[in-house]
C-alpha cells in the first residue's frame, strides 16, 4: 500500500525541488523524468499502475511549478 502513495507524491516533489535548485522548470521535469525512467528500466517498478501514477505525479508537479512560478522565485 505504501508504493502507490509514494508514486503519487515523490515525483511531484522531485519536480518542485529540482526546479527550485535549477531555476528552470524544464530542467526539473527532465531530471525527475530521467530518474524515474532509469528506475523503471532497472526493474524497480514492474507494476504498470505504479508507472502510471508516477507519470500523473510528474504532470501534477509540472503544473504546480508552472502555476506557482517556482522557477521565477529569486533566492537571496
Q: What are the domain boundaries of the chain?
A: 8-69
The three-class DSSP label of residue 43 is coil
pLDDT at 2: 87
pTM score: 0.85
Roughly how many angstroms between the first and final C-alpha of the chain, as a whole number?
A: 41
pLDDT at 47: 84
pLDDT at 34: 94
| Among 29, 24, 14, residue whose Cα is nearest residue 73 | 24
pLDDT at 27: 93
pLDDT at 76: 61
- Between CA 32 and CA 10 the distance in angstroms is 10
- Angle CA 48–62–5, to nearest 5: 40
pLDDT at 26: 93
The pLDDT tens digits of the residues spanning 17-76 come to 999 888 889 999 999 999 998 988 988 877 888 889 999 999 999 999 988 887 777 766
Amino acid at each position: 500500500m505504501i508504493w502507490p502513495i509514494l508514486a503519487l507524491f515523490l515525483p511531484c516533489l522531485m519536480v518542485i525541488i529540482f526546479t527550485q535548485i535549477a531555476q528552470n522548470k524544464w530542467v526539473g521535469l527532465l531530471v525527475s523524468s530521467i530518474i524515474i525512467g532509469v528506475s523503471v528500466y532497472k526493474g524497480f517498478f514492474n507494476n504498470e499502475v505504479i508507472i502510471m501514477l508516477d507519470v500523473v505525479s510528474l504532470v501534477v508537479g509540472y503544473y504546480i511549478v508552472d502555476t506557482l512560478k517556482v522557477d521565477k522565485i529569486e533566492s537571496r
